[in-house]
Amino acid sequence: MSEIDAARPPQADHDELEPVTHVGRRTLLGFMGVGVAGIALGASVDNAIGGALTKASSALGSLGALVPGAEAFRIYTVTGTIPRINPARYRLSVGGMVDHPLTLSLDDLRTAYPRTELVHYFQCVTGWHVPGVHWAGVRLSALLDRAGVQPGATALRFFSGDGVYTESLTLSQARLRDVLVADKMLGTDVTADHGGPVRLYVAPMYGYKSIKWLDRIEVTDRVVPGYWENAGYPVNAWIDS
């Protein structure tokens, strides 16, 4: 612009017309282009720089949650409060179409079943994800074997201690080796924010399947869609990539 400035007197006279460029239009189109490219390539960018963003995020302390792409959990709750459940009084009940209904304390869960652990990402259906999360607990299939699933049963319903949230799995999904009733997460007891003392972790599916504050499991003869599934999300929430 400097050449043009030099060529033109600063006081433009009244009848002079200014040369214009359509910056507004270009900016708008540019935004759309970057937006579409971001949708297409964002996951790769996230993979490449997510670690760095996470470092930046933790360096910022409480503001770190505002760093886009940081590999941090975002805590969701569908009710007004986070249920605070006393671990000493916690009971998990397994009922419905089973031969031996179970009521398990945290100690029962930790001592009476084979422990299992795995490291796997947590993927939210809305797009954020946390890689390399350490999970530990008991395979759901172990609980089902102990309770004795009756013939004719095909599915499970899960009820959250928040009194509102529910989830569902088919029996064969529930028996997958990477479906855990988890009491440890990120190296410690599952915190209240993350759904402690006990939550579900369904590794091959989106996060909304991993119900928090797990309170009751009911074996049923059909799939009853859960909370988000009634709001339009898929009942079979396989992560496709």
Partner 1 sequence: MSTEPAEPAAIEGAPVHGEGAEPPPSTVVRFDLPERLVHWTTALLLLSLLATGTILYVPGLMLAVGHRATIENIHVVTGFGLLAPILAGLAGPWRSALVDDIRRLDRWGRQDFAFFRPRRAGPVGRRGKFNGGQKAAAAVLAGGSLVMIVTGTVMRWSPPFPNELARGATLVHDVVYLVLFAVVVGHLVVALSRPVQLRSMFTGHVPLAWARRHGPAWLDGSDLRTLPTGRARRPRQAAAPPRRSAPRREAAHAGRRPASG
Residues 5-34 binding partner 1 (CB under 8 A) are 5, 7-8, 10-25, 27-32, 34
DSSP string, 194-237: TT-S-EEEETTB-GGGS-SSEEEEEEESS----HHHHTT--SS-
Strand 166-170's sheet: what is its strand order? Answer: 102-105, 91-96, 214-220, 155-160, 166-170
Q: Of 108-116, 118-126, 150-158, 210-218, which segment contacts partner 1 by CB under 8 A?
A: 118-126
Q: How many residues bind to partner 1 according to rule CB under 8 A?
A: 71
Binding piece for partner 1, criterion CB under 8 A, among 73-81, 84-92, 105-113, 166-174: 73-81
One-letter amino acid for residue 200 of the chain = L
User: Taking the complex as a whole, how short is the minimal distance between the CB of residue 27 and partner 1, in angstroms?
Assistant: 4
Binder among 48, 52, 59, 75 for partner 1 (CB under 8 A): 75
Q: Of these, 6, 66, 89, 100, which contacts partner 1 (CB under 8 A)? A: 66
Do 75 and 185 form a contact (C-beta atoms < 8 A)? no
Q: Which of 19, 233, 198 is nearest to 113 (CA)?
A: 198
CA distance 60 to 58: 5
Q: Which is nearer to partner 1, 188 or 191 (CB)?
A: 191
Query: Shortest distance, CB of residue 51 to partner 1, whole angstroms?
Result: 14
Stretch that binds partner 1, among 77-85, 100-108, 166-174, 215-223 (CB under 8 A): 77-85
Q: Which of residues 162-221 bind partner 1 (CB under 8 A)?
A: 193, 206
Contacts of 7 by beta carbon, 8 Å cutoff, 6+ apart: none
What track of x and - describes contact with partner 1 for positions 220 through 239 (by CB under 8 A)?
-------xx--x-xx--x-x
- Candidates 105-113, 125-133, 140-148, 169-177 — which segment interacts with partner 1 by CB under 8 A? 125-133
Instruction: Rank residues 79 and 150 by Cβ distance to partner 1 and give the closer one.
Output: 79
Q: Name the residue nearer to partner 1 (CB basis): 193 or 221.
A: 193
Provide the token pair at 133. Answer: 């999360």
- Of the listed pieces 58-66, 84-92, 143-151, 212-220, which binds partner 1 according to CB under 8 A? 58-66
DSSP for 70-122?
A: --------SSSS-----GGG-EEEEEESBSS-EEEEHHHHHHSS-EEEEEEEE
Q: What residues form DSSP beta bridges with 238?
A: 205
- Tell whether residue 38 is a contact of partner 1 (CB under 8 A): yes
